[in-house]
Copies of this chain bind each other. A is one copy, B any other.
Amino acid sequence: MMEATRSASRESVLGNWPRYDAAVLGFRNYWYPVLFSRQLGRKPRSITLCGEKIVLVRDQGRVYGLHDRCPHRGVPLSCGRREFPGLLTCAYHGWTYDLATGRLEVVLTDGPDSPICGKANVRTYPVEERAGVVWVYVGEQPPPPVEEDIPAELLQPNLTIEGFTEVRKGNWRYAAENGIDEGHSRYLHRSAFWTTFRRMPAWTQGTRMVPSEDGKWLMRERGKAVFQDTYPRIGKWPPQPPWRNRRGGAVYHKLGIRLPGILINTQTGWSDYEIWVPWDEDHHLAMFLAVTEATGLRALLFRLWYRLWVRWVFYRGFNGQDQWMIEQMQIPPERLYRPDVSITAWRKWCQEQARGATPTAAAAPTEDWATAAAADYVAAEAATARTEVHAG
């Protein structure tokens, strides 16, 4: 009943973006990163992607993905073993599937001429490896080249990449909306050790969400930042102690998001990628990549700095505050405010740009997209205000 209520109210609030609203399990027809290459060997691993159970296994250097369920007795194939080259064998009765095609090739316990061979096959998933990461395609349309779904920056040579993955509580959209959200950083993260020496604005004006030139990213263009202001009842806020001014230090240089849920957050000398992969209704897989162009000693120093500092102060400290909020968030209902234009623009972007839409809807964003997104926000804000009144 709780669920029923929730769905009902969700509909009324997010009604402006029905495709986004329906994407509880993510957008299909995309390549998703799910593991680091180093995490996968010959031992099968089970993941959940867009609600589907998938077993991944490496054979002779390549990675394969199959539906993680033997049709015979419903046992996960990830309990089995890659016992013969190119084949995955179910632990229970030795049903043996071709890794590339999913065809039931051999049934060990029923003899060489088992009549069921070829008649109980399992679905396969396209898998690729790039940038030290395993990418899996989920969808019904023929997959595009994996490069199409990977930020070009990550495909360069001479990169040094650190990072980690974690299955976390919260629908993937909570995490993505928190990632692109313009407003929270200047309050929530003010107490993070990461920002101690950075000057953060009190508020900003005229932030716009604009498509990147290649049409892949939705970039957040900062407007005018006000670093201190005088508020009613509160007076001057925030305090800006002198050490906060060091290096004029902004928290990020460039920030953007792209489908199906990848954030780039350019820092001085390195980039932070945050990728939110739909797991099931209530969980997402978070993948974090800390990337720099470096080789040799500089690469080594970057790795050291990541492991001793960034990993803890940025990803556990600063980013851990986001995780805390994502776990607590419960929408709908919601009540939007001005900085949420970054969120509504992202919703509009998904609504219009996500693969699988009807041709009309999937049109490329026009030049006045930022204006359109702002108009969309105004409509949404009005809608949530109405909801509030009805609920009150």
Chain A residues close to B by CB (< 8 Å):
69, 71-76, 79, 84, 86-87, 89, 91-96, 105-112, 114-116, 119-120, 183-184, 186-188, 202-203, 205, 226, 229-234, 237-238, 324-325, 328-339, 385, 388
Contact = CB atoms under 8 A, between A and B. Distances in A.
B108 A325 contact: no
B335 A72 contact: yes
A87 B234 CA distance: 9
B203 A73 contact: no
A335 B205 contact: no
A183 B232 CA distance: 62
A385 B119 contact: yes
A110 B337 CA distance: 8
B72 A337 contact: yes
B109 A388 contact: no
Contact of A333 (B74, B75, B79, B238): B74
Given A74-B330, A93-B188, A109-B187, 4 more contacts: A69-B330, A71-B333, A74-B328, A119-B388
A335 B233 contact: no
**Copies of this chain per assembly:** 3
A231 B202 CA distance: 71
Contacts of A238: 108
A93 B233 contact: no
The 7 closest A-B pairs by CB, nearest first: A94-B187, A74-B330, A111-B203, A71-B335, A109-B183, A120-B335, A116-B337
29 contacts: A72-B336, A74-B328, A74-B329, A75-B329, A76-B328, A79-B325, A79-B328, A84-B233, A86-B233, A87-B234, A91-B187, A92-B184, A92-B187, A92-B325, A93-B183, A93-B184, A95-B337, A106-B231, A108-B187, A108-B203, A108-B237, A109-B184, A110-B337, A111-B202, A111-B205, A112-B230, A115-B338, A116-B335, A119-B388
A110 B385 contact: no
B71 A388 contact: yes
Nearest to A325: B92
Contact of A114 (B76, B92, B338): B338
B112 A231 contact: yes
A73 B329 contact: yes
Contact of A73 (B79, B231, B331): B331
A240 B233 CA distance: 71
A133 B238 CA distance: 36
Nearest to A187: B94
Given A73-B334, A79-B328, A339 B184 contact: no
Contacts of A325: 73, 75, 79, 91-92
Contacts of A106: 231-234
Given A96-B234, A233-B84, A186 B109 contact: yes
